[in-house]
Each structure stands twice: as C-alpha cells, then as structure tokens.
Amino acid sequence: MTRNAVDVPVALLGYGTVGAAVHRLLDEQGDEIERATGHRLRVVRALVRDVDRDRPCSPGAGVLTTDFATIRDDPQVRLVAEVMGGLDPAGDHVVELLRRGTPVVTANKQLLARRGPELFEAAAGGGVQLRFEASVCAAIPVIKVLREALVVTNVHRVLGIVNGTTNFILSAMEGGQTYAEALAEAQRLGYAEADPAEDVGGLDAAAKTAILATVAFGSRVPVEWVEVEGIEGVTREHVAAARAMEMHVKLVARATLVGDLVDVRVGPALVDARHPLAAVEGAFNAVMLQGDAIREIMLEGPGAGGIETASAVVADMVSIVGTTGTGFLQNDPVWRELGRLPAGELASPWYLRLEVEDRAGVLARLAQELAAEGVSVARLVQQPADGHAVLHVVTHEAAQGGLERALAAIRALPESRGHASALPVVSDRGVEELGWA
C-alpha cells in the first residue's frame, strides 16, 4: 500500500466458491484497484457456518467467524459483500447492515428479486449504496450498462439466455442426447447442481428476469409477475423439429415494455438460427437489450463460476469506494410505477406441433381455426407418422390468447390426434422491428 492510499477494511458474508475468489481478486488486484481509486480494500472478516472446515485457500488467522455481530458491530468495516446465498439469514443481515449505514454488494438473485423493495428502502434509510451486478449473469456487466450507459435510452425489450445449466443441456440435446442424458452430463461436469430444480424449472432465470426488467424499465417488477416454464418437457423431437426449420430450442428470458405495461416471461422458445442468441452455446449467458436510441446491444459471457462472479462483486466494491460521497448512483433503480400487461396480450410468432388425420380437407380445417383467431401461417412442414400426419407450423406474429383459443379448438376437432402444442419463436431483431435493417 502506498503512503497516500485510503485503507478500506471490508467484510464478506460467506467464504465459499465466490467469497474465497473475491478475497483472492482483492489481494491479487490490490495494486490496480489502488491505482484506479486511491483505495486499498482489505478483507478483515468473513462469516461462515463452520470455521474449522477444510478450505482450498486459507483466509488468514482470525478472519473467519460464525458470529454476524462481530461484523455488524465492527466500526472499522466500511463495506460488506454478501456472498453466502439463501434468503435467510442473508436478507436480515443485509437489511441490518444497510440501515446502520454500511454499503453492501450482493450476488444473491433470489434475495434481490424477493426482498428488493425492503433492501433498497434500508439502503435509502442508511444513506448508502446497495449494488448487485453479480446477481444477474455473473461476469456480464449488464446492470451497470443498463443503469449507467443506457440511462437515457428507452430500453423496451430485454431478451436473454440467463441460465447456463439449461443452455448446456439444450446444446447437448442438439448433439443427440435425451434430456435425462444431457442433465446427467451437466451434473457430472459441475454445470448442474445435484438438485437441479431451480435451474431446469426456470426459477433461477425468473429471478434474474425480474431484476433485469426492474432495472431496464425503472419500475418494480415482482418475481411473481414472471410467467415461468422450465425445460423438463423439451424432447429430442422438439429439438430435431427446430433444426429442420433452421431454429434452436433455447430457454429464453424475455421482458417487454408495451406502452406503460410490462410483460415478463421465461420459457423454452425456438430461436431463429440467424438471431444472435442462437449462437450462445453451452454454459454461456447472453443478454440482448433493444431500445430507441441504441437499436440493439448484445452482451455475452460466462454467467457463473467463482472467479467470474467475483469479478463483478469486486467491480461493485470498487464502484462504491469510487463514488461514495459524490451521490452518483446511490438511488434505488426504480423511478416509476408501471402495470402488468394482461395475460395473453403479448404478440409473438409461434411454433405449433399438430398431429392430425392424414386426409383431404384437414389442412383447410386447421387454417380456418387459426384464421378465426387472427393467427396466420408463415411456414409449414408435414411429416407422415403411423397413419396420421405431424405438422410443424410457424405462424406470423399473433397474440398468445388468440393462439391458445385456436389450439383449444384444434384439439377438439375430430381429426385431431395427440396433443397440439406451441412454443414462442424468437426471430425478430430490434433493427428489423424499427426499420433500420
């Protein structure tokens, strides 16, 4: 440390994969941080469950503690990074620290998505910053881009692949594996937890989508607004049908601003092979931001991993020491109140899989049912299958409500065989939508 550098003792809540990597980065990059900010960040305490557990790297004598009060009540601690995960007790700890005037950085998406309003109120009460870059897509600096670089851009749509586990599984299924085989491989390689429910069921992506929508649209978007569907129902047949139509099945997170109303959803979608999201493979994440002045910006990178996540946590810590006292970006990311778009009103192109009797006149009946609800067909591929026909249909843009009514009518037709199903298609890019292509 140089003679003029400001010493900043910091504490970590959690010293696991991310916490230990934060400590390592602060030590290894200490000189760079000092050159950039004039501050030297030094880990003096870290909260864990078990101080005696074997750890790959030692934090130094006296750093680990199981007693939160020793961190909360230590007057030298200027900044805390919450990297322990879970809602409880992490949430109460963060609220207490903020209320007492200690700035906090968190990597905890579920905590932010579920208790965000309370956390930001506590930060405002304590007059300190709460930063949360690592909570969405780990190393990808999307929160900073939205809050700082795009602050005067009217972002109206966020599209993303925000869960690496499901993207890895879907990529592996394109290589010919079944869902079960791909999940087992993801677990073997450490991309999926032993209990993968939060990832494959879409809940991890839903929390990130709620946070992204809140920051992008400047209005509180509760996680309960996110319509969620996981990838458990995706079969090799879906993946093969998509490939036959030059598309890829992806778990797509989507936040859309329609006038003053918000629509947020996470679910499997067919992504056109020419769309930039189609190229995001394996455990990578990507977020595409579409807005009035920017057309579209895509950010892609590693969405998980200890050191990757730690890079975003440390960057937030550096931002806090670099901006404290200037008033810049100390506020809640929310500045207006938008409503929720009524279910079924968002329009999208759709992929439909229909099984019907293979005889004259059936196609016309289907087209009639679709047209009655304002759904028109853009592409159709017919496959013979065991005495009946499987139809793979891509529609032009149509509202979800109309599409669901048309599907219900098709299922009720005497010629219908099997279960008619639908997935949204991601094909349009902001530039085309706005006429700039």
Interface residue list for ligand NAP (CB under 6 A): 14-19, 47-50, 53, 83-86, 89, 107-108, 134, 138, 304-306, 309
CA angle 46, 145, 107 (to 5 degrees): 20
The DSSP code for 148 is: I
Which region holds residue 190: left if phi is over 0, alpha if psi is between -120 and 50, else beta? left
- The whole-angstrom distance between residue 54's C-alpha and the CA centroid of its chain comes to 32
Quote the Cα angle for 430-431-434, to 5°: 80
Task: State both tokens at 138.
Answer: 């780990």
**Measured from the CB atom, is 35 or 49 closer to ligand NAP?**
49
Q: Residues with catalytic annotation?
A: 208
d(CA 360, CA 169): 40
Per DSSP, the residues of 74-111 read: -TT--EEEE-S-SSTTHHHHHHHHHHTT--EEE--HHH
Complex with ligand NAP: residue 110 or 171, whichever CB lies closer:
110
Distance CA 286, CA 163 (A): 9
Least distance from ligand NAP to the Cβ atom of residue 90, Å: 7
How many other β-carbons are positioned within 10 Å of the β-carbon of residue 333? 20
CA 193 – CA 189 distance, rounded (Å): 10
| Least distance (Å) between residue 114 CB and ligand NAP | 12
* Least Å from the CB of residue 49 to ligand NAP: 4
- Which residue is listed with tokens 């968190």? 106
In the bound state, the residue with its beta carbon closest to ligand NAP is 16
Q: How far is the CB of 310 from ligand NAP (least distance, A)?
A: 9
**What is the chain's length?**
437
In angstroms, the CA 280 to CA 241 distance is 19
* Least gap, CB of 205 to ligand NAP (angstroms): 13
Q: Which of 282, 134, 139 is nearest to 211 (CA)?
A: 134
CA distances from 268 to 204, 206, 238, 247, 252 (A): 14, 13, 10, 12, 6
- The residues pairing with 262 across neighbouring beta strands, listed in sequence order, are 257, 340
Question: In whole angstroms, how close is the CB of 51 to ligand NAP at the nearest point?
Answer: 7
